[in-house]
A and B are shown apart, each in its own frame.
Chain A
Amino acid sequence: MSFHLILFLAFGAVCVGGAVNLLAQRHPINSALSLIAVMAALAGEYLLLGAEFVAAVQVIVYAGAIMVLFVFVIMLLNAGEEEETKGSRIAILIGVPGMLIASVLMAWVVLRRSGTESVEIGALPGPPTDIAQLLFHNFLLPFEVTSVLILIAIMGAVVLASKPESRSGKVD
């Protein structure tokens, strides 16, 4: 077993364990912290693929910025522990096996269709210069269109979050 495989399995175990813990935890802040662990472990997986830039961005944007906002909101609202609900026996009986079957099916389809067995390290573009070449040269138009889309989403969020008086422009 090569060292890379061991690392891959370790990060993968952290990912899956964190995701399960995210669902199992009763307190929102513990769930948020599990999600941070998942994000960080995903960054480790990217690093193993040789995609160092994506790994760093994953940590900065997801684990660093977005999850800070999640934690911030949980702290601000001072959300307490969730109450346990009873009577979801059907959900456990059907939901858990259903989810397992669905994920196995999905993995099987992906493995069947893609036809690749494993990716050599460094085979995919990973360094920042290669990514910049792809983003700002080969895929410039989709990239810019996406940024406009995000800008519209930001403006929509500002409009939705602003007070009603300032939206209509008159005070009643």
Chain B
Amino acid sequence: MPIGIFILVSVIKSALILFVLLTAVAYTVWLERKVVGRMQNRWGPTRVGPFGLLQPAADGLKFLFKEDLTPPHVYKPLFLAAPLMAVIFALTSISVIPFGNSIRLFGYDIPLQITDVNIGLLLILGVTSMGVYGVALAGWSSNNKYSLLGGLRASAQMVSYEIALGLSLVGVLIQSGSFSLRAIVDAQGGRFLGFIPRWNIFHGQFIGFFIYLMAAYAETNRIPFDLPEAETELVAGYHTEYSSMKFAMFFMAEYANMITVACLATLLFFGGWHGPLFGPPLMQALLPVFWFAAKVFCFLFLYIWVRGTLPRFRYDQLMDFGWKFLLPLAIANLVATAIAVAW
């Protein structure tokens, strides 16, 4: 592929994926309000458009037109930089997520992914580990005790659960022998006994998936691990002092992170875009992307379902669960997988 066309294709792909991701973020918020509403015997948004479907657009407009307050005693450079950092790191990690095989357009093979690097998984881990700075610095620079406590909790929680998260992935890595997300998905093609898909979750990584799921909830600060923004104790935690678009950036970062971990769970444990293919050629080409999106949607729904069901952990319970339960379990899973593969 000539360099000019490569750059053109990359720009188009980046813009398209960014557009899809931001739309998905907006509609995940809508879905959450709708589903949690129904679970609590309410209707959720209904007024703006049919089924409240235009609510995200209305919210976005509202955020744009609200007054952007900067409290007088904040440390300004970091107060302004923190939401940017949060949203940039959240959006960067999507760049290595593959969501389908390659397609042929105008004689060029175009992989459905912004870029396929052979340390894709490590890149995502690195970027998400940098993402904590947005939250931590927001809490510190706000010069507010609730924000500071929220920021401290966020950094302690994310550092603790990152270890369990990383170790839960090593089992998958041992089985597939690569850090490239595309190679990991390719290793999950085919079936056991003719009908069970060869996905990693059915391939001995059930416990690994359980640990990943728990740690991912904690990494994204979702209920039951949402102590950094516990409304009942900390007002709004690290983003108490933020208003208008800066607040919306934290919101976007949180939901983009949710989508990233849902994509990662799909790729690593649920076979990525593998699924039954049938129908005419065009449908066969589009079905993998559909399967991928459907699996990600299931994870997002699970997130919302959990939010509507579980109460919040206490802080000591959170730390005990991470260090005394998930971490030993992850190490045991790693050892068991290594022995099974070496056998």
Contact = CB atoms under 8 A, between A and B. Distances in A.
Given A59-B126, A75-B140, A75-B151, A68 B132 contact: yes
Interface stretch (B41-49, B153-161, B186-194, B276-284): B153-161
A36 B162 contact: no
Given A71-B137, A75-B148, A128-B119, A63 B130 contact: yes
Interface string A46-90: 000000110111011001110011011011101000000000000
A142 interface: no
Contact of A60 (B126, B137, B140, B156): B126
Nearest to B125: A60
B78 interface: yes
A22 interface: no
**Interface SS, B side:** helix
Contacts of A57: 122
Nearest to A64: B129
A29 B78 contact: yes
Contacts of B126: 56, 59-60, 63-64
A127 interface: yes
B136 A75 contact: yes
Contacts of B119: 52-53, 55-56, 128
A52 B132 contact: no
B153 to A, nearest CB: 10
Contacts, number: 70
A59 B117 contact: no
Contacts of A78: 148
A76 B137 CA distance: 12
Contact of A68 (B122, B140, B155, B166): B155
Contact of B129 (A53, A65, A76, A128): A65
The winner among B126, B133, B162 for most chain A CB atoms within 10 A is B126
A71 B155 contact: yes
Nearest to B131: A64
A99 to B, nearest CB: 29
Nearest to A78: B148
A76 B123 CA distance: 29
B303 interface: no
A122 to B, nearest CB: 12
B118 interface: yes
B139 interface: yes
A13 B140 CA distance: 29
A52 B118 contact: yes
B122 A65 contact: no
A81 to B, nearest CB: 11
B133 A72 contact: no
A36 B152 CA distance: 18
Contacts of A75: 136, 139-140, 148, 151-152, 155
Contacts of A72: 136, 152, 155-156, 159
Interface string B132-176: 110011011000000010011001101100100010000000000
A49 B135 CA distance: 32
Given A52-B117, A56-B119, A68 B137 contact: no
B247 interface: no
Nearest to A55: B119
Interface string A132-147: 0000000000000000
Contacts of B152: 72, 75-76
B179 interface: yes
A52 B115 CA distance: 15
B219 to A, nearest CB: 12
A32 B152 CA distance: 16
Contacts of A33: 78
A107 to B, nearest CB: 30
A50 to B, nearest CB: 11
B252 to A, nearest CB: 21
Nearest to B128: A64
Nearest to A71: B136
A27 to B, nearest CB: 8
B289 to A, nearest CB: 28
A128 B133 CA distance: 27
11 contacts: A52-B117, A53-B122, A56-B125, A64-B125, A64-B162, A68-B129, A68-B155, A72-B156, A72-B159, A75-B136, A76-B152
The 6 A-B pairs at the shortest CB distance, nearest first, are namely A64-B129, A56-B122, A59-B126, A60-B126, A75-B140, A72-B155
Given A56-B119, A72-B136, A74-B140, 7 more contacts: A29-B78, A33-B78, A59-B127, A60-B122, A60-B166, A71-B136, A72-B159
